[in-house]
Structures are given as structure tokens and as C-alpha cells.
Chains A and B, each alone.
Chain A
Amino acid sequence: MKKIIIDLFSIILAISLAACGSSTSAPPAPPAPPASPVATEPAAATEPAAPQQPKAVTITDQAGRTVEVGDVETISVCWYMANDFVLAMGLGDKLASIGPHDDFQIMVLPGIPNLQTVGRGRPDMEKLAALNPDLFIHTVADKENIDAIERLGIPMIQIDPEDIDATLEAYHLVGKATGNEGRAIMLEEYYRNTVKIATDRIGNIPEDQRPTFVLLGGEKGKVADGSMMQSEMIINGGGINKAASIAAEEFWPEVGVEQVFEWNPDVIFISRQAKYTAEEILQDPVWADLAAVKNGRVYELPSKLHNWENPGMATCLGTVWSMMKLYPEQYSEEEMDKLASDFYKTVYNLDIERSALDK
């Protein structure tokens, strides 16, 4: 009897030791040199085992952390905004988990509904540990879970797409981490070129002749202030944000409808967050005397299927679209249609008409 127990004990011990051994040997060799595949260093020649040796890159992410990322075969996300950074980078097939997502993203990657979930917005540590992805892409807004994720030994980059430059940098970070720098360069080029369409057409229009706008949020009294990416997007499209000077801590500060009346902008844009429609405002007799309403210039940001105002590649479309709405004579709907089709083909490898986005 005693013997059996001892035997059992030794077996368990052996198994756990083996497990420990394998788990310590599994992650990329800790102090591995940052050997990139293109680098032709003498070290590669002296070491014949180099192809087996997993490459590792050191990245400084947008939270200022230095992260070492090895070979990335699996990517994990649990934050909605991160999805686009994986999908636009063409890394969908590496996704091992996903958090909240939308129909457009399923369209780009039909396998999304079958993916695991490691949390919604904030990671579920146990699940994340079990999944043990090669890369976890997360938000800088999460400050509570960072230590724990680092202790799990899961390589993580935190991104902070708060404005256009930071958004494009985030693509570069993902590219660097996954060895897809070329794709990130292409995306940035595409983005800048698209925005240039807008800036080229309006470049010679002086500030004081540009139309003013207000972008309304979830409630009619909430607006996008100057610090928000949505504002930058429309300003790039040639608008003057009446709410730019409202420097609020929170997103979508509530200034009240009366303030919007006082601003009386030339154009009113409505965020996709809104619980109301452009039609509602156009029909409301109380709003009837606002310049934008009088001229029928109240627009909901596109589109129902794919949000052009969320941090991500599509904000370049949003810029051109707002330029078109602000200066209808400068850019035609047909041009927009063509641009959108090209954008979806290039960025997401999707064949889709612009009209289908608002079905």
C-alpha cells in the first residue's frame, strides 16, 4: 500500500517536473539576439542552428513599454478597437481569440464567430494563460491587468490610436511585431494618399472660407471636441470644428443643444453612436432655423456596416467623405464610390460596393 502511494507520488512528481521542463523550454529563447530574417550577420553564419532559433524583436509600444516578441503564429485580442489593426494588416488567419466584434469584421474574416474569447474589453487571465498566444494586442487604457499579463509571460503590445499619427504608428507596431513591416508601410502610404485627395482639393481654400461643423454624439447635446480623432478626421476634410476649443477630459463632452444652436454651424455631422437620425433633426421644428438644417446639411457619418469614424484605416475614407459633404462641388459621389471600392479591396481584400455598406 505504502509503495503504491510512493509510486504514485513519484509519477506525479515526474509528470510535473516534465511539465515544468517543457514550459520553461517552450517560450522563445530568452536572451535570443534580435535576429531579423533579412539581417545577414556573421552570427547567422557561425551558427548553423539559426533557422530553428526563433527570431525576436524588441518593440517600444504606445504605452512606452519595451516588449520582446518572438515568432508570432497566434495573435490574441479582446478589445474591439484592436480588431481592425489585425484585420487591416492581413493577419486575420493568425487570430486565436477575439472580443467584441461587428458584422463587417465577420465579412472580412468569416471565421470570427468560431474564435475563442479571452475577455470583453478586459482580458480574462485564466483563458489568456490557457491560450498562451504569441502576441496580445491591447489598449493603453487598461492599467490594471498589465502586470498580470506580463507575469504570464505573454508578449503584449499596447496601442493608443487617439489620433491619426498614433493610429498609423499602431499599424507599424503590429507590423514590426509580426514581421509585416511592409504591409504597415503600404497601409500608411495608402492612408496618407487618400487623405491627400481631400487636402489637395481644398488646399487653396483659406481658413475663413471653410464651412464650420459640429459632430454630434450619442445625445444631441454631446459633441466631438478638438482632441478627438473624429474631429481631426473632418478637419482634414476641410471643416472648422466649432467645438474644437472645448477641452474636456471625457470623450463626447455634453455641451447642451443650446450651445449647438449658439454655434449654429454650417454643417452638422452625426456620429454612429447617436440614438437619433439626421432625418429627425431635419424634421424637428425647433431645429428648423439652424443654418445646417435650413440648407439640409445634416449628415450621419457612414456607414451602417463599417464605421468610418472609429480609430482605424477607414478614417481616411471618413476624411474624403466629409470633404465631399463640406464641398459637394469638389468631389462627386461617383468618385467616392470608386474610392470606397478600391479601399476595401486594398485594405481588407473585400469586393464590396459603397452602397452595400448602408444596407
Chain B
Amino acid sequence: MKKAISMKKAISMKKAINMKKVQALKSPGFAKSGKALPFNLILIAAVCLGIFLALCVGKYPVSFSASLKIVFYNILGWQGDWDTMTENVVMGLRLPRVLSAVVIGASLSISGATYQGVFRNPLVSPDFLGVSAGACVGAAIAILLGFHSLAIQAFALAGGILAVALTTLLPRLLRSRSAIVLVLSGVIVGGAMGSIMGLLKYIADPTTQLPAITYWQMGSVANINFRSLAYVLAPMAVSMTVLLGLAWWINILSLGEKDAQALGANVAQLRGVTILCATVLTASSVSISGTIGWVGLVIPHLGRMLVGPDNRRLLPASALLGGLFLLFADTLGRTIAKTELPLSIITGLIGAPFYAWLLYKNHTRLS
């Protein structure tokens, strides 16, 4: 402690003097951020590679090299001499599907990491405030009304956001700012939505509407086209940008309400914005793909293991890992058997044991 004299003076000293000293030190902070950048670059490269690979496999016989050629020629805007059917398969069928998987995986993972940070609970998944349940109800209503796919998408989006609005309204009515009340409120709204869902399925036409609702609930990126993806891309991009921008403030929120406020954070505002963005991300994803489990829960954990809990590194890493994971799961699902394996089954089959392994690896930290 003897050297700790005049901290205040030292702190306010010109940084120029300290900088050298700091550089001489191990300066772990910089080392970390320096390490994180290449890691993200590696992930970006992996995602790009994954996209290329995924574009080159499938049931339609296109040789690997031909697919690769088609992709590169399309990127460069060249005209190839292959038949248009082959090009349509690669660019028209595989590309929207592959991109959707990446975008949805990234959205669900960022959303999950945000929720976990904001609610200081690494066990929450992006739909614990009722997003997915609400989106399901919205989609089911649209299906029952006989609406077309874009309307179903819009209803799902609205349903998801409405459910979260309801969930956040309940604590307000109780004049409570406690996160636990909010989580309980999510349980209530989710349960109510589940019941409504049961009711809607009960009144659905068993031959046409019921299979459509069930299929929608299962979650799939098989039939997403560029048009439906385009509709959600803008809200997704905005939300992702905001969350990446607020990443450091999510750290502060994750210290707890009182600490965050004492540090100068406007907790209510920050929580509102981050929950809104995370909700929009999940609801947008769910609206085009249906509910896909495990991604938003497991990927942030994997991210934390790889880059640490700092959301400035975690959010981008989670997004990339999530995109990669869902891309892998979907590509596996559409190539492994004669019929497609539902996405949620694969994410569950990979996600659940992986989650167990993560818990085992981190059990010291959790106990």
C-alpha cells in the first residue's frame, strides 16, 4: 500500500507518462482485444467457408467444383455455360436456405446472449419472455384465417412482439421492477399462449390447417425464399447493430440493477432497448422459420467459453457461431437421409449433450 500514495493525483496525470509504463506491462486488456479480432476473423472465414460448402452439397447432382464455379461466377457477375437449372438449384434453392440458416442462427444467438446478460441468468433462452409462443399463436391465427405466407410471417412477428409486450406489461401493473417478476410474467404469458395454441389447433381443420400449424411449430428453413428473408432483414440488421453497439452496456446491466444504476446506467431505458432489440431479432427469426430450439441457449455459452463473458466480444462471436451452427444443422438435415430431418431435432440432438458437456466443464464456476 505504500506506493499507493496520491492515487487521485496519479490518476489524473497525463496519460502520456503512463502509457509507456502500461505498454511495458503485460497489458492484458489489449492483448485480449488483439486476440479477439483474429478469432472473429477466423469465425468469419469459417462462416464463409461453411456457406460455400453448404452451397455445394445437396440432393440435386451438381459436382462440388461446378457449384463452386457457379458461386464464384455469380459473385463476379460472370456468365457461365452451365444449364440454368443447375444454377437455379445452387443460387435459387440452396442460397436462400443457406443464408437464412446463417442469419437466423446469428439472430437467435445474439438475442440469447443479450437476454442472458440483461437477466443475469445464463440459463434463459431467447424465448423465455414468450416470443416464440406468441409468434406461434400469431402464425396459427393467420393460418386459420387462410392467409398467405407473407401474412403468416407478419402475424407471427406481431404475435411475438405482442407477447413480450404483455410480459413486460404485467410487472408494470404490479409496479415491480424485479427481474424475477418479469420472468414469472414470461412463464404466465408463455403458458397462456400455449393454451391458446392448443385451442387454435383444436379448432383448426385437421386435414389442411393443422398440419400447416404443426409444420410451422417444428421450425424449418427449407422453404424460406429471398422475399420473406428480405422483409425481416432490415429489422434484424437494425436490432443487431443496436445490440452490438450496446454490448458494453449489457455488461453493466448484467452486474445487477442496483450496481448498474450506481454506475450511472439508465437501467429502465437500457433494459427496454435491449429487450426490444433481442425480441425483434427472435420474433423476426421465428416469423420466417418457426421455432428452432437450443441455438439461442447453447451458443452464447459456447461463445463465453471461447471469448469470455464480455459482451463486446461475446455478441459478435455468438452471432458467428450461431450462424455456423444452424448452417451445419440444416445442411446435415437436408443431406443425411432421403427425407429431411426436422431442424429442431438436429439442434436438440447436438445442443442437449453439448449443453450437458458445457455444464460439466463449468461446474466449478456454477457451484
Contact = CB atoms under 8 A, between A and B. Distances in A.
B223 interface: yes
B211 A258 contact: no
Contact of A272 (B58, B208, B339): B208
Interface in A253-309: 253-259, 261-262, 264, 272-273, 275-276, 285-290, 307
B207 A273 contact: yes
Where chain A touches its partner, the secondary structure class is: loop
Given A80-B207, A220-B223, A255-B339, A275 B202 contact: no
Contacts of A248: 338-339
Contacts of A256: 58-59, 222, 334, 340
B357 interface: no
Interface in B209-260: 211-212, 215, 220, 222-223
Interface in A213-246: 218-221, 246
B84 interface: yes
Given A80-B206, A120-B202, A255-B339, A261 B223 contact: no
Contacts of A220: 223
Q: How many B residues are at the interface, by size bracket?
A: 20 to 34
A258 B94 contact: yes
Contacts of A219: 215, 220, 222-223
Interface string B78-107: 000001110011001110000000000000
Given A253-B339, A255-B338, A262-B60, A290 B222 contact: no
Given A258-B58, A272-B208, A221 B223 contact: yes
A343 B163 CA distance: 50
A273 B340 CA distance: 19
B207 A262 contact: no
B278 to A, nearest CB: 29
Contacts of A288: 84, 88
A252 interface: yes
27 contacts: A80-B206, A100-B206, A102-B205, A120-B206, A218-B215, A219-B222, A219-B223, A221-B340, A248-B339, A253-B338, A253-B339, A254-B339, A254-B340, A256-B59, A256-B222, A258-B59, A258-B60, A258-B89, A259-B60, A261-B85, A261-B88, A261-B89, A262-B59, A264-B85, A285-B92, A288-B84, A290-B85
